[in-house]
Amino acid sequence: MPIRSCNCDNICEICLNEALELARIYIDILKGNLGLKNIHLVYSGRGYHIRVLDQFIMKEESELRGEILKYITCADVPTNEIPLGYTNLFINHFVRNIFHITGREKVEGANTKLLKDVIKNRNKIEKDDNENYQLGLFRGKIGPRRYKNLLDAMARVNLSMVDGKVSIDLKRILRLPSSLHSKVSMKCVEVKNLENFDPFKVAVPKFVEEKM
């Protein structure tokens, strides 16, 4: 993930936790905003796969899959600032990512200086009278042109938080639960309890445990 709190080279407990948190957010949107029901979460060995098995979606072409992907990740800048529906989702992703930026990210279209400025100013970003964040509230902090650049950059960041190619490609073979991810020696397992799943407890194969 381009935005994460840790600085590890491969995967660690921190980024896996953040990936799980994101998976929960996407699942909420798939269920709450798109009305999908048959949703499974699988820990792949080094990340999370959300598998949607609702019949009507299984038949769809990759174009619609791409649209769904863009919707749930908030890959487009909203066309209005009324904090409802898609705009509301975008605000949530935007704020979450703003507070997770470390300044080390390489985001196409967003220079390091812009990201550093955002970090410097993020604690000044205020909530409105109803304790909500609103898109327009950020504009006054960094100026209108940089604000637009920031929105565009964050939309790209939003999309890059998931592996988009796998999500829309109909020819990919998905990792099967119980199989082993050979690069990291972790097992692929279905996540039954989204709230307190811990891969280091359930996905470490016995032969690795014995070596530790």
Q: Write out the residues near Zn ion by the rule CB under 5 A.
A: 6, 8, 12, 14-15
Shorter beta-carbon distance to Zn ion: residue 87 or 97: 97
C-beta pairs of 144-148 under 8 Å, 24+ apart in sequence: 146/114, 146/117
CA 44/CA 184 separation, integer angstroms:
10
Shorter beta-carbon distance to Zn ion: residue 7 or 38: 7
CA 30/CA 141 separation, integer angstroms:
33
Residue 111: CB minimum distance to Zn ion, A: 25
Residue 23: CB minimum distance to Zn ion, A: 16
Residue 8: CB minimum distance to Zn ion, A: 3
Residue 200: CB minimum distance to Zn ion, A: 13
Residue 7: CB minimum distance to Zn ion, A: 7
**Using CB atoms within 10 A of its CB, is residue 147 exposed (0-12), middle (13-18) or buried (19+)?**
middle
Rounded to a whole number of angstroms, the CA Rg of the chain reads 19
Shorter beta-carbon distance to Zn ion: residue 6 or 204: 6
Shorter beta-carbon distance to Zn ion: residue 8 or 53: 8
DSSP lists the bridge partners of residue 180 as 187
CA 52/CA 40 separation, integer angstroms:
6
Shorter beta-carbon distance to Zn ion: residue 200 or 207: 200
